[in-house]
Each structure stands twice: as C-alpha cells, then as structure tokens.
C-alpha cells in the first residue's frame, strides 16, 4: 500500500484506506470548482479550490466531531478537520500541478483562510494555493489529479472554473478526464498497486491562453 493511501486527504481517512486497500480504485470522489485569481497586471496569483466530497466519505470524515446541532457542523466545529486536511495535502502537492509555457510553475503553501463546510450531508474543503511567483504566460496549464487514482477528481459539470480579474484577451477552458475502460477497471481491481502512476491519465485540466 502506498503512503498516499495511508495518509490521504484527511487524517480520518487512514482507517478507511486500510480497509479498502485490496478493493478496486477509486475509493473517494471529489467534485471540483475552482477560481483562477489574477492581479491587476494580468498575472495569475493562485488558484482557489472548492473540493466537494462524496456523501459516504463526508459521513466518514465527520464521525466523532461534536456539533451543537445534530447533523450540522459550523465552520468553527470543522476547523480542526480543515487544518488537518490542508497540512496533510502538502505531502502530495495538493494534487494540483501547473506549467507556464511548458515550465513547471510551483505553488506555495495555502493561504491561512482555508475552511471546511458541511451542507446537506456533504463536506467541502475550500483553500487557496498561491503561486510562489505570480505567473504571466501565453499558455498556462493546471492539472488536478491523484497520481495513484485513489481519489477520483472531476471538475463540476456546470461552471467548474471562474477567472477572477482575468484580462479580457485571455481565454480559458476546462477539460474533463476521460472515463476508465472496462479492461482498466478490471486490471486495477485485480492489482490495485498497479495504479501508482495512473492518475495523470485521468487528469482534469484548466487551460488558459493569452496573446
């Protein structure tokens, strides 16, 4: 079992990952909406993520959290969970990878204004990843995926990406990952460890072109 499976996304996920190690991938589903944030000079300063987890994982992750109102959690009650989330994600590059004109564009640690919320029995993690240096590029590509495919990330079907303060001449599009074939699914079911580097084949992409 990979280190990712043992420490994935939330510290609470550990026991679930151990129990699911021999089963087919993926085990957790995340729906993504994101915003690219621009500075007045037209450079991209970072990406603001909103990751909405599937209902089963949302229930698992919030087990044991004390709440004043049953079935509901305030942002303050979820603060320790959000903190653990963000700190754990650092080891996995926040599952977010960027290139500017073909060169890697590294991210810094998330801004301190991250938070988690819980609505209609669904957990969402919200955080902003700033670039180490603001990015100006003709071609910016951001990919979001789990290399081991333990987590199935997918951009939301409606309005998955917003561009905050982007220059009018820059155009951005979202690209969804392809589906897994029956043969691929069977192979992963028979040999989960084979997924170690499969995630890139199922990457979500945000592509921005500027003149």
- Domain ranges in the chain are 3-17+25-209
pLDDT on residue 64 = 84
pLDDT on residue 196 = 63
User: In Å, what is the CA distance from 150 to each residue of 4, 65, 192?
Assistant: 8, 25, 9
pLDDT on residue 66 = 86
- In this structure, what is the dihedral angle of CA atoms 100, 3, 19, 184, given to the nearest 10 degrees? 50
Residue count (the chain): 211
Q: pLDDT tens track of the chain, all 211 residues? A: 333 333 334 444 433 433 344 344 678 899 999 999 999 999 999 999 999 999 998 988 888 888 888 888 999 999 998 998 888 888 889 999 999 999 999 999 999 999 999 999 999 999 999 999 999 999 999 999 988 888 889 999 999 999 999 999 999 999 998 777 777 767 766 666 666 677 788 899 999 999 8
| Cβ atoms of 28 and 148 closer than 8 Å | no
Instruction: Report d(CA 102, CA 92) in Å as an integer.
Output: 21
pLDDT on residue 202 = 85
pLDDT on residue 54 = 95
Instruction: Report d(CA 195, CA 197) in Å as an integer.
Output: 6
pLDDT on residue 22 = 39
Strand locations in 40-181 (E): 44-53, 96-100, 103-104, 115-119, 122-135, 139-144, 151-155, 161-164, 171-175
Q: Is the peptide bond before 26 cis (omega within 30 degrees of 0)?
A: yes
CB-based contacts of 138, cutoff 8 Å, min separation 6: 101, 209, 210, 211
């Amino acid at each position: 079992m990979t280190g990712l499976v043992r420490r994935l996304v939330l510290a609470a996920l550990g026991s679930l990952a151990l129990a699911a190690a021999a089963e087919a991938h993926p085990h957790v589903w995340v729906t993504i909406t994101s915003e690219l944030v621009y500075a007045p000079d037209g450079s991209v300063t970072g990406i603001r993520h909103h990751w909405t987890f599937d209902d089963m994982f949302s229930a698992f992750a919030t087990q044991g959290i004390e709440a004043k109102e049953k079935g509901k959690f305030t942002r303050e009650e979820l603060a320790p969970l959000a903190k653990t989330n963000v700190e754990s994600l650092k080891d996995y590059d926040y599952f977010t990878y960027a290139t500017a004109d073909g060169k890697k564009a590294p991210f810094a640690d998330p801004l301190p204004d991250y938070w988690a919320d819980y609505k209609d029995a669904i957990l969402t993690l919200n955080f902003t990843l700033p670039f180490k240096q603001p990015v100006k590029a003709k071609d910016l590509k951001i990919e979001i995926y789990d290399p081991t495919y333990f987590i199935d990330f997918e951009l939301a079907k409606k309005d998955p990406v917003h561009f905050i303060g982007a220059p009018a001449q820059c155009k951005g599009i979202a690209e969804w990952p392809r589906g897994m074939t029956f043969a691929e699914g069977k192979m992963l079911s028979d040999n989960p460890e084979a997924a170690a580097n499969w995630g890139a084949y199922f990457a979500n992409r945000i592509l921005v072109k500027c003149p």
